[in-house]
Amino acid sequence: MESKGRIIKSISGFYDVLDEKSHELVRTRARGNFRKRGIKPIVGDFAEYDASGDLGYLLEILPRENSLVRPPIANVDQAIVVTSAVEPKFSSNLLDKILVNIEHNGIKPLIYLTKTDLLSDDSYRELKNTLSGYNEAGYVVFDEVDSYSTSQIDRLESHFADKVTVFTGQSGAGKSTLLNHINPDLKLATAAISQTLNRGKHTTRQVSLFEIADGLVADTPGFSSLELIDIDKEELPTLFPEFVKYSPECQFRGCHHVNEPGCKVKEMLASGKIMQSRYDNYLYFLNEINSYKKRY
């Protein structure tokens, strides 16, 4: 009997599929011809499968909306960008680079600030003011003074329903801690991986999706891919939501918002509606992209 579902776990050649109708978990194997056809099912894939025997079989992997390489996961809806206030120090350049990469993958980013308890009141107010600019630009921001308060975790979970959510951010920003506040069961995953690594084995950590707050959450702390190498200078301005908002009013179509006349983005920058740091980082990335092009 043919059914449809989503792969939420893969273990040495077996794929656990969450059936879209019955919501039951079915263990399957991939058809032999998948390898010949160069198809590798990954967690997050939607699949057609046959569950008539003791063990189900994957028949077809449906087209992906998007996919990440590390961790290997498909059809991601949103990414929680975990950003540390200190240790590591808050960096707008790094945050903007992560946001641009996530937007480039067709994933919606949300910003989550951690380690706020280590800031003085003045530093916290200053950082909160910076983050209000991101809110203005159209991002959902979590920046309560108590990073892991019940109200903030609840607000975060209210964004999970019917979506696949991954976590990302710089090393040491507190992704695992946040995941464990959301669901203590995920602790097993973070503890197990650190022990495995300490034993010096090179194991590829399998990613799984957990059902939390009517959505699916990846248990992996973070994906890494911070080169702007796949992004060209035509695409870059489309990855800044506040530029997208004002660019229809620019004098020229395809305005790069650098030194073209009649640029609405630069006008909004001058009036303080667009953050100076975001615009500076945009110019910095544009420069980086141009230097890549020269190198290759």
Residue type, 30: A
Q: Is 255 annotated as a binding residue?
A: yes
3-state SS of 22-65 is CCCEEEEEECCHHHHCCCCCCECCEEEEECCCCCEEEEEECCCC
**52 appears as a binding residue in the annotation:** no
Looking at this protein, which amino acid is placed at residue 278?
A: R
In the prediction, which pLDDT does 241 show?
A: 97
Nearest to 68 by CA among 142, 134, 203, 167: 167
Q: Kindly tell me the sign of the dihedral angle through the C-alpha atoms of 169, 172, 176, 180.
A: negative
pLDDT attached to residue 293 = 67
Determine the pLDDT at residue 199. Answer: 40
User: So what's the pLDDT on residue 270?
Assistant: 97
Is the CATH number 3.30.70.1060 carried by domain 2-63?
no
pLDDT, residue 143, reads 96
154 is in an annotated binding site: no
Residues 45-58 pLDDT 10s: 999 999 888 889 99
171 is in an annotated binding site: yes
Provide the CB-side half-sphere exposure for 73 (13 A, CA).
28
Question: CA end-to-end span of the chain, whole Å?
Answer: 51
- Is 257 labelled a binding residue? yes
The domain limits of the chain are: 2-63, 68-221, 236-295
Put the strands of the sheet holding 108-114 in their side by side order. Answer: 140-142, 108-114, 78-84, 164-168, 215-221, 209-212
Residues near 270 by beta carbon (within 8 Å), at least 6 away in sequence: none
Residues with pLDDT less than 50, the chain: 188-204
Distance CA 53, CA 31 (A): 14
Within its chain, how far is the Cα of 219 from the centroid?
Answer: 13
- CB atoms < 10 A from the CB of 112, how many? 22
The DSSP code sequence of 232-295 is: -TTTGGGGSHHHHHHGGGSSSTT--SSS-TT-HHHHHHHTTSS-HHHHHHHHHHHHHHHHHHHH
In this predicted model, what pLDDT tens digit does every residue of 140-166 receive, in sequence order?
A: 999 999 999 999 999 999 999 999 999
- pTM exceeding the 0.85 threshold for the entire prediction: yes
pLDDT for the residue numbered 195: 46
For domain 68-221, the CATH architecture is 3-Layer(aba) Sandwich (3.40)
In whole angstroms, what is the distance from residue 224 CA to residue 257 CA?
29
Q: What is the pLDDT of residues 201-214, one digit of tens each?
A: 333 467 889 999 99
pLDDT at residue number 193: 45
Helix and strand numbers, DSSP H then E, in the chain: 9, 13
- Coil, strand or helix: which one is 68? strand
Residue type, 287: N
pLDDT of residue 188: 45
Under 8 Å between Cβ of 142 and 205: no
**170 labelled binding-site residue:** yes
Does domain 236-295 sit in CATH 1.10.40.50? yes
- Phi, psi for residue 222 in degrees, rounded to 5: 100, 145
**Does 114 count as an annotated binding residue?**
yes
Q: Is 163 annotated as a binding residue?
A: no
Query: Is 177 annotated to bind ligand?
Result: yes
